[in-house]
Amino acid sequence: MSAHEHAGNGIKAVTGDEAVSAGGRDRGFTRRRLVGAAGVAGLMGVSGFGGEVLGRRRGLDAASASSPDELRYPFRGEVQQGILTPAQDTMYTVAYTVTTRNRDGLRRLLTAWTSASEKMVAGEPVGGAENDVELPPSDTGEVWGYPPSGLTITFGFGRSLFVDEHGGDRFGLKDRMPRVLADGVPKFANEALRAAASDGDILIQTCSNDPQVCVHAVRNLTRIAFGSATLKWGQIGYGRSSSTSKEQRTPRNLLGFKDGTANLKAEDDAELLRRHVWVQPEDDAAASWLNGGTYVVARKIHMHLEVWDRVRLSEQQEVIGRDKYHGAPLSVSDPQDSDEFARPDFAAPGRDGGTAIPADSHVAVVGADNNQGVRMLRRSYNYTDGNDSLGRLDAGMFFVAFVRDPRTGFYPVLKKMTEKDALTEYLQHQASALFAVPPGIREGDALVGQRLFE
Amino acid sequence: MKNTKYLLVPATFALTLSLASCADNPQASSGASASAGDTHKVTVDITDDTCTTNPSQIPSGKVEFSISNKGTKPNEFEILTENKLQIASEKENIGPGTTAELTTALKQGTYYTACKPNMVGNFVGLSELEVSQGDDVDVSEDTKAAEDRAIAGYTSYVKDQTGQLLTATQEFAQAYTSGEVEKAKTLYPLARQHYERIEPTAEAFGIEEAGDLDAALDARVQDLSTDAHKEPTDPEVLKGWTGWHRIEADLFGNDDSPFHFASDEERQQAADDLTENTQKLYDLVYGQIKGVDGDFELKLADVATGASSLLEEVAKSKIVGEEETFSHTDMYDFRANVEGAEVAYGNVADLVRKKDPALAESIESNIETVKALIEEQVSGRTDDGTETFRDYSLVAAVQKDAGEAPDASAYTETQRKFSDAVNALSEPLSKIAGTVLH
């Protein structure tokens, strides 16, 4: 099922307005407001990170048009696109297993992928405008004449690209493997990970405002890889509103909550990003090629939606720690839309003698205030992979976060969440992925991650 | 009996080799004629905002572009035809500070050269390249001879396989109708290999209309029943079903299989139909009868697309185990398809090597990979030394007895490996036609 169909069938996340009218209440519009104060956001919250402002300031993601279809982001820059880029409507992320045996073959693959990606994000056909009727077209054609729709293509390198399952050096890159990849992702409580849908040698994240543009990108990159790499797993995600304006409403996840206020704020400066997102020279001397890059952690989190939907509203709100309609923390009494970005007061008293925000609520467990100020740049999407054979929606969140060091910036929060968060009862982690995301493709670079090979 | 042995596997390899070696001979002559016409050299200098060629006028024939990227960006050099739309030849991703060679043959005419920094955006330095009438006559004559050899070589192969098919079919029919069940089961996949090796070509043949021989010889009950909107076991469907797979369903079915013939008379009838139609195929290929399109004749396009079409068969029905849904002898068909592809390619290999050596190398190494994977499924040998394969349903998720196809998630690691290797081979094979045809 394509993400197109999701949208067409109305499965797309309900917006704030629709939720309000469905509830028969007149609370007006919820506008996303960008505040400078450190806020708290749940892990589950769809990223409300205001990348557009940061992007503009860094000159990285200045879009060339205002319509979502016409958006076009530069391919080359200090950091890869698709990280700070304002999150597009659709994501199609795939992981490949590299089958070529030698370093030259790997370089050739990355070079071919880089060329094709640069063309696709510019809205041009792969292989150029060739017209030889005796050849299969180099470009598969399903977006010929379409605008790039804000397409970004982002690459990551997994542990298994550096070493095989026996620790052997696959491509002469072993001594440059980042420590974070060598350490791997620890095991967490309540997870049921499927190896076939986890990790991989190379990750490619494609995001755009048109699902077909994403599918075209993945299809052509996969075709280019035949003989050098094969698809291991793929995930289509949806659930962003189409506006890239600051006025964009906070999207809702499939639990119906819009608690994605933001971990990192649009106004946060480069210093905060350096501290929490970008790998710094002092981090890992052996992996200096990754300086200015980042790590992406992804978790496929299945939601038991049928069960969740039978939970009383008061209990749902206590599980999340926020008001469902407005998104305000429960420490705000009689909340309004404008309270969405209010800072949670974990000490505020509740009705039954406890705190208004229960200690095991999602917000309390994973919020930055309660996690040594840990922050990450989240870029998650909702997913629906049809239904299982019992007729239950196979749906949830494809959680994606970019962090400087997951050992301090992600695992501790996830550990706490899987052990203490009341929400865990309604979730199951089904897949996990960790990749090193090289810094941007510089002017003059022939391939992504060129510094790894220099 | 001697003939039977000859048609078994080692003979195919011998045939492939002989074709390859016969294709090797002309290499000497093509070298000689190439030296008769010089390779014209053009220097291309690239910066980020210029793209100059020197000279800008050359005679037609073989041209070697020596490209030097003195800019700061990876660049692409393109030669466009007069309409500035169609790319005659190109070199992608020439790194900054590096050089690259592009060798191509250009006919007389007006061309344009241009660059594309970072391989995107508008052309930079679009300029005219005038190709005057030169010495490409030798080149085309040489090519024409190679093309004629390719067609002749592949035609002989099709004839040879059809001849072997007829003998093997008759032997199989004899065993089947005389109740030698085990012998018939052994002969079934071996006889079919000759058909599978030339499948795309054989499929196109027709006596009354295109494809009617294939429908009579190789129809699958899955297709017949869906066309008729009926169940595969429907008596009407079974009544109209002839050929190899009808006999396969009877021969390999369980005791209570609904696909068994009701009587030995029906068996005899099915076997007679099979040999009769195979005889027709033979007569057509050997020019003893005319088909719907007149005399049997192959074109260069049949050879150029032959290998690709055979791999398409593998991808669509062999790997997923749909072809031999009762006998699970898909591995024999798989190997035969690949052998046929190797021969089809072998007949144009000379042309491909000349125009695109990298493509030839990719095809040849990927053929070896696929063959090695096939070899892993060999289970043993018959008394006369013929290799036998494992029951495909033991190593793969397959469609059984024309029932439901396996779930998309059910395919095995073996099938995954086959699929990856076949994809890797099919991509370069799909470029043969564009390289060879003109």
Quick one: pLDDT band at residue A348, thresholds 50, 70, 90? Answer: very high
Quick one: pLDDT band at residue A291, thresholds 50, 70, 90? Answer: very high
Quick one: pLDDT band at residue A60, thresholds 50, 70, 90? Answer: very low
Q: Do A230 and B76 touch (CB under 8 A)?
A: no
| Residue of chain A nearest B117, judged by CA positions | A444
**Helix or strand or coil: residue B68?**
strand
Number of domains in chain A: 1
Q: What is the pLDDT along chain B (438 residues), one digit of tens a residue?
A: 333 333 333 333 333 333 333 332 222 223 223 334 578 899 999 999 999 999 999 998 888 899 999 999 889 898 887 877 666 777 878 989 999 988 877 888 999 999 988 877 778 999 999 999 886 545 556 788 888 888 988 998 998 899 889 999 999 999 999 999 999 999 999 999 999 999 888 887 788 888 899 999 999 999 999 998 999 999 999 999 999 999 999 999 988 999 999 999 999 999 999 999 999 999 999 888 988 888 889 999 899 898 999 999 898 889 999 999 999 999 999 999 999 999 999 989 988 998 899 999 999 999 999 999 999 999 999 888 889 999 999 999 999 999 888 888 899 999 999 999 999 999 999 999 888 886
Q: Do A227 and B366 touch (CB under 8 A)?
A: yes
Which tokens sit at B149?
A: 């050899």
Are A14 and A228 contacting, i.e. CB atoms less than 8 angstroms apart? no
Distance from the B98 Cα atom to the nearest Cα atom in chain A, whole angstroms: 11
pLDDT at A205: 98
Of A260, A253, A228, A219, the C-alpha closest to A239 is A253
pLDDT at A248: 56
Q: Do B85 and A131 touch (CB under 8 A)?
A: yes
Distance from the B360 Cα atom to the nearest Cα atom in chain A, whole angstroms: 14
User: Highest mean pLDDT: which of A7-11, A220-224, B115-119?
Assistant: A220-224
Which sign does the torsion angle of CA B417, B421, B426, B431 carry? Answer: positive
| Residue of chain B nearest A450, judged by CA positions | B95
Is residue A389 within 8 angstroms of chain B, CB to CB?
A: no
Rounded to whole angstroms, how far apart are CA atoms B181 and B203? Answer: 28
Q: Do B90 and A128 touch (CB under 8 A)?
A: yes
pLDDT at B378: 96
Residues of A in contact with B434 (CB under 8 A): 132, 134-136
Distance from the A74 Cα atom to the nearest Cα atom in chain B, whole angstroms: 11
Q: Is the pLDDT of residue A61 over 90?
A: no
Mean pLDDT, rounded, for A293-317: 96
Q: Do A226 and B423 touch (CB under 8 A)?
A: yes
Distance from the B37 Cα atom to the nearest Cα atom in chain A, whole angstroms: 27
Residues of A in contact with B120 (CB under 8 A): 75, 118-119, 122, 124
Q: Do A135 and B434 touch (CB under 8 A)?
A: yes
Is residue A144 within 8 angstroms of chain B, CB to CB?
A: no
| Residue of chain A nearest B305, judged by CA positions | A134
Q: Is the pLDDT of residue A406 over 50?
A: yes
pLDDT at B254: 87
Is residue A174 within 8 angstroms of chain B, CB to CB?
A: no
Angle at A160 between CA A173 and CA A380, to 5 degrees: 115
Is residue A136 within 8 angstroms of chain B, CB to CB?
A: yes
Distance from the A400 Cα atom to the nearest Cα atom in chain B, whole angstroms: 25
**Helix or strand or coil: residue B292?**
coil
A325 exposed, middle or buried (CB, 10 Å; 0-12, 13-18, 19+)? buried
Is residue A230 within 8 angstroms of chain B, CB to CB?
A: yes
Rounded to whole angstroms, how far apart are CA atoms A377 and A41? Answer: 11
Which tokens sit at B231?
A: 């169940």
Residues of A in contact with B118 (CB under 8 A): 75-76, 118
Distance from the A389 Cα atom to the nearest Cα atom in chain B, whole angstroms: 12
pLDDT at A218: 98
Is residue A130 within 8 angstroms of chain B, CB to CB?
A: yes
Residues of A in contact with B86 (CB under 8 A): 130-132
Domain that includes residue A28, residue range:
3-453
pLDDT at A104: 95
Q: Do A230 and B434 touch (CB under 8 A)?
A: no
**Beta-sheet pairing, A377-378 with A294-303:** unpaired
| Residue of chain A nearest B69, judged by CA positions | A444
Of A150, A16, A37, A179, the C-alpha closest to A88 is A150
Out of A27-36, A206-215, B184-193, B319-328, least confident range: A27-36
Q: Is the pLDDT of residue A10 over 50?
A: no
3-state secondary structure chain A: CCHHHHHHCCCCCCCHHHHHHHCCCCCCCCCCCCCCCCCCCCCCCCCCCCHHHHHHHHCCCCCCCCCCCCCCCCCCCCCCCCCCCCCCCEEEEEEEEECCCCHHHHHHHHHHHHHHHHHHHCCCCCCCCCCCCCCCCCCCCCCCCCCCCCCEEEEEECHHHHECCCCCECCCCHHHCCHHHHHCCCCCCCECCCHHHCCCCEEEEEEECCHHHHHHHHHHHHHHHCCCEEEEEEEEEECCCCCCCCCCCCCCCCCCCCCCCCCCCCCCCHHHHHHHCCCCCCCCHHHHHHCCCEEEEEEEEEECHHHHCCCCHHHHHHHHCECCCCCCECCCCCCCHHHCCCCCCCCCECCCCCECCCCCCHHHHHCHHHCCCCCCEECCEEEEEEECCCCCEEEEEEEEEEECCHHHHCHHHHHHHHHHCHHHHHEEEEEEEEEEECCCCCCCCCCCCHHHHC
Mean pLDDT, rounded, for A149-175: 97
pLDDT at A152: 97
Q: Which residues contact A305 (CB under 8 A, 6 or more apart)?
A: A254, A255, A392, A393, A395, A396
**Partner residue opposite A115 with nearest CB, options B92, B362, B426:** B92
Inter-chain contacts counted by CB atoms under 8 A, chains A and B: 73
List the single best residue of B76, B112, B120, B366 to mutate versus A (max A Cβ within 10 A): B120
Angle at B231 between CA B227 and CA B235, to 5 degrees: 95
pLDDT at A38: 29
pLDDT at B25: 27
Residues of A in contact with B423 (CB under 8 A): 226-227, 230
Are A72 and A148 contacting, i.e. CB atoms less than 8 angstroms apart? yes
Distances (CA, A) of B131 to B19, B107, B135, B194, B355: 37, 7, 11, 48, 19
List the single best residue of A1, A98, A119 to mutate versus B (max B Cβ within 10 A): A119
Q: Do A444 and B96 touch (CB under 8 A)?
A: yes
Which tokens sit at B230?
A: 């009926």
C-alpha radius of gyration, chain B, whole number: 26
pLDDT at A234: 98
Domains, chain B, with CATH or none: 2-23+143-436 (1.20.1420.20), 40-135 (2.60.40.420)
**Partner residue opposite B86 with nearest CB, options A124, A130, A228:** A130
Distance from the A198 Cα atom to the nearest Cα atom in chain B, whole angstroms: 16
List the single best residue of A99, A226, A445 to mutate versus B (max B Cβ within 10 A): A226
pTM for the full predicted model = 0.79
Out of A204-218, A262-276, B158-172, least confident range: A262-276
Tally: H helices and E strands in chain B:
17, 11
Rounded to whole angstroms, how far apart are CA atoms B58 and B106? Answer: 10
Distance from the B275 Cα atom to the nearest Cα atom in chain A, whole angstroms: 37
| Residue of chain A nearest B78, judged by CA positions | A128
Of B339, B16, B312, B372, the C-alpha closest to B194 is B339
Q: Which residue has the higher pLDDT, A13 or B203?
A: B203
pLDDT at A250: 77
Are A291 and A281 contacting, i.e. CB atoms less than 8 angstroms apart? yes
Q: Do B433 and A134 touch (CB under 8 A)?
A: yes
**Partner residue opposite B86 with nearest CB, options A115, A131, A227:** A131
Distance from the A334 Cα atom to the nearest Cα atom in chain B, whole angstroms: 50
